[in-house]
Chains A and B, each alone.
Chain A
Amino acid sequence: MRAADTGDGIPPPRPPRSPWEWLVTVAMVAGIAGICVLIAWHIYDKLSFYSGSALTVAYTVIVSSYVLSRFVLAAFYRPPRDVGLEPTVAIVVPAFNEGAAVARTIDSCMGVDYPTDKLELVVVNDGSSDDTWQQMRKASARYAAGAVRCLDLGSNQGKRAAMAAGIRATSADILVFVDSDSMPAKGAIRRIVQGFADARVGAISGLTYVRNVRTNTLTRMQSARYYVSFQLLKSAESVLGAVACCSGCFSAYRRTAIAGLLDAWENQRFLGVACTYGDDRALTNRVIKSGWVTRYDALAYACTDVPERFGKFYRQQLRWKKSWAREGPILLGHVWRSRPVAFPSIALQTVAGFLSPVVITYNVIRCLLGAPLPVIYLAGLYLITMAYALLYRLLRNDGMWLYALVGALFYITLTPQLLWAIARIRDGSWGTRAPAATAGHAGSVPAGAVSVPVPAMAGLAPGGDDG
């Protein structure tokens, strides 16, 4: 029944729905709608009865409203129309100690379906200590002269410096960022530029699938999580024209939108230390602040690798949470004038995001001290995570919809990590022994791919990265 695995995590085009699939579709839509009605009823009850402490009521209302608004907004999402736009495009790939993997990335980028005279690939070696530079040169030699440009920073200057160097080295109208471990699909470049037909759009995020999805349970959960985060949270944000993070895995920026921001972005400091993580979120943030609209294109695919071991996954989550904790309030601080229509949504998300770990930690401690199980809370949690699972099944039929449920619950358990992230927010290291100055970018870590945790909303919610 299910489509064959294509090996890169990207599902093949969906076949026409069978009668059974239609039935499933209707059932899933009804299920999601039912859960949304229950959430709305719950919000109404909380507001009209105002039972419980002020904090509980505020938290429940904020988180429930956030979750509900995601589904409602996402229902209105439509991908940008294909208007046949063909601007000049430069794909910028920063690389640090990738070794032979960089060749694979170069090959996939050059394999996309786009006029060669309008496509340029800029690969930046950020002072790798291995043979990345040699591999880059070797791979680029296979293509026409000038098609692949290799830059060498000479010393390790960090991902932002590498990306900025790549951007400055090209004059293309549209800059597409691809992490060194990500691969755009064949039609992805042609697809992702279409949204720029709207002159207000400054950045567009593509949809990233997980290539190593079949490796183990952890990667399956991440895969389901990525998918729901993109299809639900980014769709919702796109409707409001303020996708908060055009992820580093695969996103496109308009040159005119970022040209003036590069210096400030490259040298961003926070609480007195240089920012080494959250580059994608920081850049999108500045684009929104300049008054540009940011969108999400659900039809522009790339694939990436996710951590296969828990330790690495944990450190990645910590980085994302740190960058969310830093950039979330910054976004909230300007979005009320740069993109007022998105302000309520972002305010809800920010407040809920910061409240969630507190409420979850509080509840866990209470239960450990012998308080009765918070049944309503747990039931609400299950309803919301189930809504994610139903959404997954509605959009994909690959037998992994339950991973969206289990994954969401799993991510929620990581929500209190935000408290640790806030405590360590000035620590710029990537959680490895490498000193901050030599912090890497990719190396199988999809740096800031999907950033942020909006942790368990309502405890309820999805942990999702809002990406």
Chain B
Amino acid sequence: MGELMRGGLRAATGLAFLAALVITAVVWVTASRPYNPAQQAAWVAPADPAAALAAPAARPFPSAVVSITYHAVSDTNPAFTAVTPALLSEHLAALKAAGFHTITLRDVERLVAGQPVRLPAKPLLLTFDDGVASDWTLVDPLLKAYHFTALAFIVTGRVVPPGRPSYYLSTRQIQQMAATGRWDLGCHTDKLHYYAPVPGGTAPALTNRIVVHGKEETVAQWRARVSADLARCQAFFRRVVGHPATAFAYPFGGPTSGGNIPSVAAIMPQLFRQAGLDWAFYDGGVPPGHIDALGPWSDRYGMERIPTRSVTSVAALMNLIRRTLPAEPAADLSGLPWRGVGATCATAPASLDRSLTVTTAAYGTCLLGDLNTSRWRDYTVRTRVAGLSQRVTAIIGVRDGAGTGYAGRLEVALGERGLIVREQVGKRPHQVLATAPMAPSPVGPGIRDVRIAVTGDRAVITVSGAPAIAVTLAPSLGAGGVQFAVAAQGPHAVTFESPTMVVAPARGTP
């Protein structure tokens, strides 16, 4: 009996230890399993024919690279920069359908540096800022599905060791990203992606002298702080992927956004060079209002990108892209998409005499606002203006910043008897550069042939019946399109006949 009980007790003890073994194994596996979120299956958005149609059909400027910035990708993140995976997928599907092909950072570098590089017809650079874990879990599968590549700008100080739960990427995920061959990596500061206290408020820590221990930094201290941060960023990339980064992205805009270091825009490139960073991208959306696609014209320390928001629809994205692509100067100005402000802009069909008729009740302008004219630099505009009278003045603007990202232009105002050449820079009032009386028109009453040639900061205005006028433009009027305006007493129409543009230094006379 006792033997039996002892046997039973022993069996029970053994079973208890075996049960403990199973429990321990489960605990061990659960507790020691590292955080390793799986990549999500990519939802490929159906190709939307409308999106393809909405795509910029216009001839893009040769070798202009469209670059787009995304941040976190999430279904739940309320940040205004976070897009949902579905929206991102729709964006990528539309880009694919529109014929865009992604290119690598190296290709962009070659292009901007003016080195020979073979590019697809519609080159695209996708960038993802901040180094959020969704780069790996959500974005990478989408890139794979669409055969795209991307550039991730990583805040290296926020990267966690492998296996630790985090909103940001882990070093292991970054290595995995690098190993896919789909990702280039860039620096988004090591630990300076934040707003720091400055006298009177807060400002981006990277580009401002901040308050440290109650004292405002000197410029030397600021330089030392930024240099050290960039060096840490580079050390991170050397350690994790074996080589330093070449590209940097500013957090919160660029170096010009209202900082307390006047020469910050000049100093930052020195600090970049010191750290071995050859390229710096502005945060998407800076300068506001106008973004140029990347090309040989780009500033290597001020590369611009299209920003996206959680509300950026496919159509809005396509619109942004269209405005980003520099348009080629058009020979026939009457064929452009004129937009009237206080005026109706009527263009005659090409089969007839090409012309643009501006009709207004008092003052109206025909603009090229949707056209990116940032590549329109040196050109000659010719047209015959018909409909001038004592009550009607025609105004031709050149180097108009509406499609280039600044306010201002050079204007030639033609009355019946005289002309005024004036410029507007920014929001300052017009400044008259020259005036001249005009003899009666040799062509006919109310009709003048006009030729305006801009080359560098020089403009030569030649109007029939008036002497040629040469003026010097303000340096900020460096590039821009054309506009036609009418000022009249009462409803009137002015026709600009055969408006043409020749891209070349002007010579000869009309």
A→B interface (CB under 8 Å): 31, 34-35, 38, 41-42, 45, 48-52, 375-376, 379-380, 382-383, 386, 389, 399, 401-402, 405
Contacts and interface: CB of A to CB of B under 8 A. Distances in A.
A30 B312 CA distance: 57
Contacts of A51: 34, 161-164
B14 interface: yes
B2 to A, nearest CB: 15
Contacts of A399: 10
Contacts of A380: 28, 32
A446 B161 CA distance: 49
Contact of B33 (A45, A379, A383): A45
B27 A375 contact: yes
Interface stretch (B16-24, B51-59, B267-275): B16-24
B13 A49 contact: no
Given A379-B32, A380-B32, 4 more contacts: A34-B25, A50-B172, A51-B164, A399-B10
Interface in B1-57: 10, 13-14, 17, 20-21, 24-25, 27-29, 31-34, 36
Contact of B21 (A48, A49, A375, A382): A382
A389 B14 CA distance: 10
Given A48-B162, A50-B161, A376 B31 contact: yes
A42 B32 contact: yes
Nearest to A374: B31
Contacts of B24: 379, 382-383, 386
A422 B4 CA distance: 49
A42 B25 CA distance: 11
A259 to B, nearest CB: 50
A49 B172 contact: yes
Contacts, number: 60
Bin the interface of chain B by size: 20 to 34
A382 B162 contact: no
B59 to A, nearest CB: 50
B133 to A, nearest CB: 15
A52 B20 CA distance: 27
9 contacts: A42-B28, A49-B161, A49-B163, A50-B161, A50-B172, A375-B27, A379-B27, A383-B24, A386-B17
Nearest to A386: B21
Contacts of B17: 386, 389, 402, 405
Interface string B294-310: 00000000000000000
A38 B33 CA distance: 11
Contact of B28 (A49, A50, A376): A376
Nearest to B161: A51
B165 to A, nearest CB: 11
Contacts of B164: 51
Contacts of A35: 25
A41 B36 CA distance: 14
Nearest to A379: B28
A399 B8 CA distance: 12
A399 B29 CA distance: 30
Closest 5 A/B residue pairs (Cβ)? A49-B162, A379-B28, A49-B163, A51-B163, A49-B34
B29 A49 contact: no
Interface in B149-184: 161-164, 172
Given A49-B162, A51-B164, A31 B28 contact: no
A97 B36 CA distance: 65
A379 B33 CA distance: 13
- B10, B27, B28, B161: residue with the most chain A Cβ atoms closer than 10 Å: B28
A45 B32 contact: yes
Nearest to A399: B10
Contacts of B10: 399
A31 B25 CA distance: 11
B162 A375 contact: no
